[in-house]
Chain A
Amino acid sequence: MENLVIAGSGPAGLTAAIYSARADLSPLVFEGPGPGGQLTVSHEVGNYPGLEQPLSGMELMSRFRKQAEGFGTRFESAAVERVANDDNILKLQAGDKIVETRALIIATGAQARRLPIPSEKKFYGRGISGCATCDGFFYRDKKVIVVGGGNVAMQDAVFLTRFASKVTVVHRREYLRADPIEVQIAKNNAKIEWMIPYIVEEILGNDLVTGARLKNTESGETVQLECEGIFAAIGHEPKTEVFKNVVETDEKGFIVVQPGSTKTSTDGVFACGDVCDHEYKQAVVAAGQGCMAAMEAERYLGIRE
């Protein structure tokens, strides 16, 4: 029987691991797909406190992990696939392992939303990419599209100008959600063009992407744009599917937590980071909530009053 299992290995899960390992709870972390979480695809993290110089998301997360490991956290690479609540004992299945635990911290984060176009799946990895930092390299001197109006879209567009001959930002409405500083950096870049207010209606090509058909969301007019790469940065959705039978989630799939707490609708189950964060979606917020979850789990387990 485990005391504490943590599902997820991003800033929330690993901060929960650091705190609970230091409290001698000997946590077991199921890292899940993409160990280190969403931050690992971030080319440069400049806003995490304590970093005098920016670090890559990968480097930052490997430091989190080493720190958690140093205090005695145990790691399994599998993802939690099934959960059952049996009289306050949680039974988890992850890969070929079945584990019972008294407390569970859900920190599985969110995943990038994919373009809602039927042919998207066919072209994924053939011109459609979800990771500009991974795949920008393959688009040297080619034309690409970035879809979205948030910070990630702005950063991806700017990053891709290092490789691509032209980057077109396609966004569905005039208002850009990104921070003004990110918008300004993108607007100042001569290689970036703007198609606003447009959506990608269809992906064009046979085997590989050769273009996109865009539709004006106000006039309905369509245009074809030549491109070999399409990078979607249209937000994220929480990865909570497997937990829906043990905790309450809202209409968008986020886990419902008590205000100012990480407690879910089920005793002994805590949630932190992007699985319950509608608003901020920042590594430092996730880490803060991870700390809260560890302390609340510790209290729940009665090791410290």
Chain B
Amino acid sequence: MSNVVEITDQNFEEEVLKSDLPTEVDFWAPWCGPCMAVSPIYDKLAEEYDNFKFCKINVDENPETATKYQVMSIPMQMFFSDGDKVDELLGAVPEQIIRSKVGEVIQKFPTDERGRLKVILSSWIEHNKQDSEKFKKWLQKAQELKNYAVYSSLLKATGEMEKANESLSQLLREL
């Protein structure tokens, strides 16, 4: 029995977007030779990693998710963290490359509370100052993580952006 979680259009949000772990999704189909050739690699990796979630979705039976993420070529592996697609690997690539990609994603998107807050804060400071939707999501996450110092700083940030960025940068250094 494989540890790779079978995903459907129905449970994609629950299992992937709301996953607490960084997650890999293998878009595959039974008629795709290269897909069948790489799937044992994912079975093997899923046995090894306990800080990473491996999923697969049959595009033939679940076309909605494939369409949503504009999958036009399989095997396609997409990587998700905190509800966002963060990376992808196209084609039947060797195990070594999959391993290093998984390692990269784990490093970029840590699973411990401090690590996740770091990611949230640095993304906000560096890239997404204007994206209020994203910001609200992160606010909620800080709240869920019960880190009230961060939560209140984030709240302040919704008011005065310049000041808030300063204090967030400070907080990031302290984390």
B74 touches A135 (CB 8 A): yes
Q: How many residues of A contact B (CB 8 A)?
A: 32
Q: Report B-chain residues with C-beta under 8 Å of the C-beta of A133.
A: 31-33
How many A-B pairs have beta carbons closer than 8 Å: the answer is 82
Q: Report A-chain residues with C-beta under 8 Å of the C-beta of B90.
A: 124-125
A126→B32 CA distance, assembly (Å): 17
B95 touches A56 (CB 8 A): no
A30→B92 CA distance, assembly (Å): 15
B residues within 8 Å of A by Cβ?
A: 29, 31-37, 41, 59-60, 66, 70-76, 90-96
A residues within 8 Å of B by Cβ?
A: 32-36, 40-43, 56-58, 61, 77-79, 95-96, 124-127, 129, 131, 133-135, 137-139, 208, 229
A40→B37 CA distance, assembly (Å): 8
Q: B18 to chain A: closest CB distance in Å? A: 26
B interface majority secondary structure: loop
A274→B77 CA distance, assembly (Å): 29
A interface majority secondary structure: loop
B37 touches A208 (CB 8 A): no
B31 touches A79 (CB 8 A): no
Q: Report B-chain residues with C-beta under 8 Å of the C-beta of A229.
A: 72
B37 touches A35 (CB 8 A): yes
A34 touches B76 (CB 8 A): no
B94 touches A95 (CB 8 A): yes
A43 touches B94 (CB 8 A): no
What are 20 pairs between A and B in contact, CB < 8 Å?
A32-B94, A34-B34, A34-B37, A35-B37, A36-B37, A56-B31, A77-B41, A124-B73, A125-B72, A125-B76, A125-B90, A126-B70, A126-B72, A133-B32, A134-B32, A134-B35, A137-B59, A137-B60, A138-B66, A139-B72
